């Protein structure tokens, strides 16, 4: 599935969800390093109209996708951490942990922004998986947004993204 990264934006949210659900949970050691990023379509399950989803996809593709360049993962002491690459800057740090996914109860890697950032960034959790078992150079992710009060069922899937290991 080497073509995933280059054509991911052409896939429907249903296709992207299926790829995520069939994905493989990475080991921490497989993540260390820099990863190029690309935003993919918004999740269609958002409680908003189709027109608003289309507008959101357009805005992300036209603006945020030009700023966000990917992520970098590293070991810090006994823990795994990471940071987003925003143009020439590194910002929006996250803590990395293995959790049961909010989508299917199988394991994913969660990128937890709550301890390293202020709201609204602290309300974000990303979940990532390898696109397939054979290749450890492409990741599909989904961003969840928390709506207080804090309850698991208040996590809303928002947007898909892809990561490709930087060579």
* pTM listed for this prediction: 0.84
Task: Report how far residue 148's alpha carbon sits from residue 29's, in angstroms, rounded to the nearest whole number.
Answer: 33
Q: Which pLDDT score, from 0 to 100, does residue 49 have?
A: 52
| Residue 8 pLDDT exceeds 70 | no
Percentage with pLDDT > 90 across the chain: 40
Predicted pLDDT of residue 55: 61
The pLDDT tens digits of the residues spanning 34-79 come to: 999 988 866 666 555 556 556 665 666 666 667 889 999 999 888 9
Average pLDDT of the chain, as a whole number? 82
Give the domain extent around 53. Answer: 4-165
Which of 122, 129, 127 shows the shortest CA–CA distance to 150?
122
Task: Give the total number of structural domains in the chain.
Answer: 1
Looking up tokens 């996708």, which residue turns up? 65
Distance CA 61, CA 49 (A): 18
Q: What is the CATH number of the domain that holds 66?
A: 2.40.128.580
pLDDT at residue number 24: 94
Asked whether the beta carbons of 16 and 161 are under 8 A apart, the reply is no
d(CA 125, CA 24): 18
Which pLDDT score is estimated for 44? 60
The pLDDT tens digits for 86-108 are 888 788 999 999 999 998 989 99
Q: Distance (Å, rounded) from C-alpha 7 to C-alpha 90?
A: 26
pLDDT, tens only, 108-145: 999 999 988 888 888 889 999 999 878 789 999 998 88
């Amino acid at each position: 599935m080497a073509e995933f990264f280059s054509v991911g934006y052409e896939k429907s949210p249903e296709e992207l969800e299926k790829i995520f659900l069939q994905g493989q949970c990475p080991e921490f050691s497989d993540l260390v390093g820099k990863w190029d990023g690309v935003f993919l379509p918004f999740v269609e399950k958002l409680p908003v109209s189709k027109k608003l989803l289309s507008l959101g996809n357009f805005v992300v593709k036209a603006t945020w996708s030009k700023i966000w360049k990917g992520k970098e993962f590293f070991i810090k002491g006994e823990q795994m951490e990471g940071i987003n690459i925003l143009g020439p800057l590194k910002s929006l740090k996250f803590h990395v942990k293995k959790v049961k996914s909010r989508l299917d109860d199988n394991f994913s890697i969660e990128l937890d922004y709550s301890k390293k950032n202020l709201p609204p960034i602290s309300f974000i959790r990303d979940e990532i998986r390898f696109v397939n078992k054979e290749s450890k150079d492409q990741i599909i992710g989904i961003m969840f947004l928390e709506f207080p009060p804090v309850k698991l069922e208040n996590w809303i899937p928002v947007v898909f993204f892809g990561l490709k290991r930087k060579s």
